[in-house]
Structure 1
Amino acid sequence: MPGPDALPVYGLAAVFAAAALVVWLAGTRLAMAGDELAERYGLAKEFVGLLFLATVTELPEIVTTVTAAQVGNAQLVLGNMFGGITMQTAILAAADIFAVRYALTSWPRKPNHALLAVLLIALLSVLLCVTFLGDLDLGPGIGLGAILLAAGFPLVIYLLRVFDRKTTWAPVDLPGEQERHKTLRAHLRAKDAASNRVLLLRSAVCSLLILAAGAALALSADLLAERTQLGASFVGVTLLAAATSLPELSTTLAAARIGAYTMAISNIFGSNLIMLALLLPADIAFRGGPILDHATTGAQLSIATGILVTAIYVAGLLIRRTPRILGAGLDSWLVLVVYFGSIAALYRIG
């Protein structure tokens, strides 16, 4: 049987499309299962999005990152990771446009999301500094920066848990909760009386499907890029980042459609946080010294735009009633402008 390298371009495109469809359907079911499990177990939906959905939807990035690092393609690894941060944040803008009543950032009742975004900005700023100054090799080929950034993930989770227990901050002028119930009611009718065990089994099956289809997406995207003679850095930031971000897109849109807005926001910010934690396994798998020493100008630009789009949503979360334009918040439109502007800038650099 011929391998994937022997497939023509249209065959690779067909594999890519089929894998994308599997990821989309599995991601949608996963978001609904996560919302129902949160209701049954009395879990905060922001933490379901941050820990459960974000971890599962990062499976394609995990596979792609480790595989590309093992073959020594540092530019593809860093382009995929850092380009994915801006792209995944832009997914929130897509959810705001197509699946949310009012502006997306007007829904959260707690400041947890703003704190999570601020901590993410702090880690991204440290990452940008390391790419400029160079990483400190602690041997064998593992950088101090990658270790510190990976340690940032459990630290952020701890700080959020402490803040959630102690905060007395309460926002005002929020959309009525009845609006969320209107959105949710149609989906509640479609839910069956599945047991908790069945819901957990469905979640596991959907996670495995996302993992397998995500690997197929990454492989076919890489081969398509090779056949079309595009640079590894540009491909990582655009095509591969888009492919591996499909789980985040499907789960975020599905969460927004069923009214789980806080879970949708936490899913994206949590995915971006996990992306930084992946630097350590990538550094371990890469054999050419600290992987952050191979960051290109394009990777640095992607980090900077990741900081910018996250900061825009922090402003939206603090302002609360963000002005709406054509059905979405002004902050979401600004995020899309930054995202497409970054793609044009990266193409020019490449």
Structure 2
Amino acid sequence: MSGLPLWLLLALFVIGAAVIWVAGVYLSKTTDALDDRLHLGSALGGLIVLAVATNLPEIAITVSAAASGSVDVAVGNILGGIALQTVVIAVLDLFGRRGRGVAPLTYRAASLGLVLEAIVVVAVLAVVIGGSQLPPGLVLARLSPDVVLIAIIWLVGLFLVRRAGHHLPWHEDGAAPDTSRAHPSGSGTQNQDRIARMSTAKIAIIFGVCALATLGAGVLVETAGDAAFGRLGLSGVLFGATVLALATSLPEISTGLQAVRQGDDGLAISDIFGGNAFLPVLFLVATLISGTAVLPQANAADVFLTALAIVLTLVYAVGLIFRPRRRVLGMGVDSVAVVGLYLLGIGGLVAITVS
């Protein structure tokens, strides 16, 4: 890639981003259908199926970086991406469903299940910050205790979300009485959706093809973007936390917008929280491949972005509980706060990188 002209690198970056966008739309449609056929529920479907599929670019980047010994690249990409992916909820709030009388996204999707997912994200990221302070030699059988704990918290979180989807000792099992609901299969808009009329096997094949397209395009975006924006003078940390994080977040944006327009607001938010909880699990994979402790290699910018991601997640957790109905600048009050905090965070990141 480094030998290609700049215009070609930028063109490949745009092509890869376009493929990710289109594939993301079909990932959302097929996930919604598979959730219904397999009785997963939108929360668990977003937490596992869609979250893993839309994070295939990050998986590929992490494996490639760990195999080549560039573990710091994997750490920066993952931790920078989590903060930006949380901001994607604000994008979905702004562009998903608009019009007079339409409540903000967190009002429509509010449920204790989503609050629980936000708690899992915060717990995982807290371990990430703690793990970054451990000695780098704390490795046994190609594993370090921090990445093992992250994986355990993620698995426990899956169990709790699954349980919350079946029963919680709250009104309507933890869902607010006037939240939006996805259209059940065979009724409403899905009755006219040709994907909903396909066989489960065909839907699974389309899902797999789109997942592979997302994976390949994600690798293309990372390699072409790194070469192109490196020539333009953008530092590695800023590139990973902004341009690369935005490009690898395109699956979440496209799938989220499609989910919101299908009426499944919970799936859209669950995809974001699920992906943010899953991404740190990749540190376990990176540790196994590289044989070295990954998190102690996190720099000050990585730890700063992790703390920022925790704050942004907590803002949305509060929004899901209090359900603000007022819109400001086309978004809920919580989304406005998240965008403002993220912009402040980028200012802090710039200050860290230039100091």
Q: TM-score, normalised by structure 1?
A: 0.91
How do 1:77-96 residues align onto structure 2 when only pairs under 5 Å count? 77-96=74-93
> Structure 1, residues 134-184: CA drift from partner, whole Å, max 9, x if none?
456123663221221122221111122234334121268654658979xx9
The 8 Å contact of residues 96 and 329 in structure 1, kept in 2 or not, is answered as yes
Q: Could you tell me how far 1:235 is from its partner in structure 2?
A: 2.0
Structure 1's 102 and 128: CA in aligned 2 closer, same or farther, altered over 3 A? Answer: same
By how many angstroms is 1:74 displaced? Answer: 3.0
Deviation string 1:91-110 (CA, Å, 9 cap, x unpaired) is 11100000134111112363
Work out the CA distance in 2 between the residues paired with 1:75 and 1:20.
24
Contact 2:138 2:293 in 1 (8 A): yes
SS at match of 1:259: coil
Counterpart residue number, 2:240: 236
In structure 1, which of residues 239, 242, 266 is the aligned counterpart of residue 270 of structure 2?
A: 266
Indicate the SS of the match to 2:133: helix
1:120 equivalent in structure 2: 121
Contact residue 47 and residue 275 of structure 2 kept, 8 A: yes
Q: Which runs of 5+ in 1 are unaligned?
A: none
- Aligned letter for 2:122? I
- Are residues 165 and 260 of structure 1, via their aligned partners in 2, closer, same or farther at CA, if it must alter by over 3 Å? closer
Distance 1:99 1:13, change over 3 A: same
C-alpha contact 2:218 2:248 (8 A) present in aligned 1: yes
User: Shift in Å at residue 325 of structure 1?
Assistant: 1.3
- Describe the shift of the 1:106–1:274 C-alpha distance in structure 2 as closer, same or farther (beyond 3 A): same
What is the deviation of 1:188?
A: 4.6
Deviation at 1:241, TM superposition (A): 1.5
Tell me the CA shift for residue 345 of structure 1: 1.7
Q: Deviations over 1:66-101 (max 9, x none)?
A: 112222223321111111111111111100000134
Which deviates more from structure 2 when the two are superposed, residues 266-275 or residues 43-52?
A: 43-52
User: Is the partner of 2:242 in helix, strand or coil?
Assistant: helix
In the alignment, the residues of structure 1 paired with residue 26 and residue 163 of structure 2 have an alpha-carbon distance, to the nearest angstrom, of: 31
Whether 1:48 and 2:45 are equivalent positions in the alignment is yes
Question: Which residue pairs with 1:57 in the alignment?
Answer: 54
- The equivalent residue for 2:352 is 349
Q: In 2 relative to 1, CA 209–143 (structure 1 residues): closer, same or farther, beyond 3 Å?
A: same
Contact 2:110 2:320 in 1 (8 A): no
RMSD: 2.3
The percent identity for this pair of structures is 31
The structure 1 residue matched to 2:71, chosen from 50, 69, 74, is 74
Cα distance in 2 between the residues matched to 1:84 and 1:190: 32
Query: How far apart are the structure 1 equivalents of 2:22 and 2:191?
Result: 18
Deviation at 1:322, TM superposition (A): 4.0
- The amino acid across from 2:214 in the alignment is I
Distance 1:178 1:343, change over 3 A: closer
The separation in 1 between residues aligned to 2:337 and 2:110, in whole angstroms, is 23
Contact 1:37 1:196 in 2 (8 A): yes
SS of the aligned residue for 1:241 comes to: helix
Report what 2:148 is aligned to: 147
Number of residues of Structure 1 aligned to a counterpart in Structure 2: 344
* Letter of the 1:311 counterpart: L
Q: Which runs of 4+ in 1 moved over 6 A?
A: 178-181
1:26 is the counterpart of 2:27: no
In 2, Cα distance between the equivalents of 1:270 and 1:178?
Answer: 19
The answer (yes or no) to whether the contact 2:77–2:244 under 8 Å persists in 1 is: yes
Is the Cα contact below 8 Å between 2:183 and 2:190 reproduced in 1?
A: no
Secondary structure of the 1:5 match is coil
